[in-house]
Structure 1
Amino acid sequence: MDDVVELAYPFEGCWRVQNSPADRVPSHGTRAFASSFAIDFVPVGPDGRSAPFTLRSLLRTEPAEAFPGFGRPILSPVAGTVVDVHDGEPDHPAHRGLRSIAYAVTQRRRVAAGWRTLAGNHVIIQAGDAVVALCHLAASSITVTAGRDVGIGDAIAGCGNSGNSTEPHLHVQAMDDLDPTRARARPIRFAGSMPRNGAIVRASE
């Protein structure tokens, strides 16, 4: 596609792919907020797993800080200018197992609250004619401000569990406008390709 936005992986280490547009479009089951081609990355260990799944995981929420990828550095996937920063949203507990069902029931309420509620703490970067959003960042971890120029690989924040998130992960999407309510989604590629759901991406450290 002519409007594909080429990105570098915005992290180092091992991450598991979820909700990839390589498997379906819209990738998250909705076209709202220009998210048709969005992708999620979950930080994992070399074994491809995040936090161990225990009986507590099945029945109760878990502290976001208990996940090994919480706070892992998030890097700029493009060279551009930071045009929007939102911080201060709390990192809520993770919901897995039966708790994820209860969390899903409240999805409509979060959607009705709008983009910032869904995205949580986020950074938006203007790169040429594309706008790239990185979402669910850890509270108080963002190290850039609006108006700052960034290069590929510059550290901008830490991986968190803010916004519409069931466990610490990174949501990435590209748009043609700063306002997600009116923007058109742009397809994206990482290092020239798009990983599929369940793939483990190992970015160089």
Structure 2
Amino acid sequence: MNRTVRLRLPFTGTWLVQNSPARRVPSHGTELLGSSWAIDFVGVDGSGRSAPGRDWRTVLATEPPERFFAFGRAILAPAGGVVVAAHDGEEDHAARRSQLALLPYMLGQPGRLRRGAAALAGNHVVLQLEPGVFVALVHLRCGSIRVAVGDTVAAGRLLAECGNSGNSTQPHVHVQAMDSMDLAVARGLPLRFSSFREWPRRSSGPVDRGSGLPGEGSVVEPF
């Protein structure tokens, strides 16, 4: 049985949980690219909004990534380790909350798959925590990566900023644990997070968790 990888949440502030493996595995509907247990976090404000407002672009078109609270937020190392990959230079593309804008984007998915990891992950950092245990942080902001291959980092070290690069419809950070740094052959590993406060989707108040996997649609913050 695969070991469970224990991590910190890789940020401060409040974030909405999407594609949680607490809901299903594989969490993103595929085991490709080591993503079986991957989880997504979307930065939100105190009211749970991912952006300060909506207008005609929200309904009919794309929106600039700078409009979203997550864009530019600090992304931190979720555990101590060694940087084994640090890819930058992929542009942050427009965000898409509109169903009209999402349709052509989804039709382009096969092409992104053919182009490989950079087209899907965008700007990303991979840490090796120990032999056979790796963690990837994905969809980072172009030009924001602050570490290089070979760096040893402690948990909480600034790695980059949240962006909207790669296969991303609005700014968020994608986190996954896996058994190889090579996404083409990596298998996903189960993960858990320590010391976080969770506002479950159907609850009126927060729950403090020493360890766990946040639920789909909940809001979390580290403590």
TM-score norm. by structure 1 comes to 0.96
Are residue 115 (structure 1) and residue 134 (structure 2) matched? Answer: no
User: Counterpart amino acid of 2:221?
Assistant: R
Partner Cα distance (2:28, 2:36) in 1? 7
Are residue 202 (structure 1) and residue 204 (structure 2) matched? Answer: no
C-alpha offsets along residues 87-124 of structure 1, whole Å, 9 cap, x if unaligned? 00000000112212221121111112111210000000
C-alpha offsets along residues 152-183 of structure 1, whole Å, 9 cap, x if unaligned? 11111000000000000000001111111111
Shift of 1:53: 3.0
Partner Cα distance (1:201, 1:170) in 2? 13
Partner of 1:125: 127
Partner of 1:3: 3
Map 1:77-116; keep pairs closer than 5 Å.
77-98=78-99, 99-116=101-118
Partner Cα distance (1:175, 1:3) in 2? 10
Map 1:30-41; keep pairs closer than 5 Å.
30-41=30-41
Partner Cα distance (1:69, 1:20) in 2? 18
Partner Cα distance (1:156, 1:15) in 2? 18
Q: 1:190 aligns with which of 185, 189, 193?
A: 193
Secondary structure, aligned partner of 2:212: coil
Question: Which of 1 and 2 has higher RCO (CA within 8 Å, sep 6+)?
Answer: 1
Q: 2:141 aligns with which of 138, 142, 150?
A: 138
Partner Cα distance (2:104, 2:27) in 1? 22
Residue ranges of structure 2 left out of the alignment (5+ in a row): 195-210
Partner Cα distance (1:91, 1:80) in 2? 27
Shift of 1:4: 0.5
CA contact (8 A) 2:122 2:140 kept: yes
Secondary structure, aligned partner of 1:111: helix
Shift of 1:203: 2.1
Secondary structure, aligned partner of 2:105: helix
User: Counterpart amino acid of 1:102?
Assistant: P
CA contact (8 A) 2:50 2:70 kept: yes
* Residues paired across the two proteins, number: 204
CA contact (8 A) 2:65 2:92 kept: yes
Partner of 1:46: 46
Secondary structure, aligned partner of 2:57: helix
Partner Cα distance (1:201, 1:104) in 2? 28
CA contact (8 A) 2:21 2:27 kept: yes
Shift of 1:54: 2.6
Structure 1: 4+ residue segments shifted above 2 A: 52-55
Secondary structure, aligned partner of 1:92: coil
CA contact (8 A) 2:2 2:189 kept: no
Shift of 1:2: 5.4
Partner Cα distance (2:193, 2:97) in 1? 28
Residue ranges of structure 1 left out of the alignment (5+ in a row): none
User: Counterpart amino acid of 2:50?
Assistant: S
Q: 1:171 aligns with which of 169, 174, 192?
A: 174
The RMSD of aligned alpha carbons is: 1.1
User: Counterpart amino acid of 2:57?
Assistant: R
CA contact (8 A) 2:62 2:98 kept: no
Partner Cα distance (2:106, 2:159) in 1? 29
Shift of 1:150: 0.5
Are residue 55 (structure 1) and residue 56 (structure 2) matched? Answer: yes
Q: 1:157 aligns with which of 155, 160, 182?
A: 160
Partner Cα distance (1:75, 1:84) in 2? 15
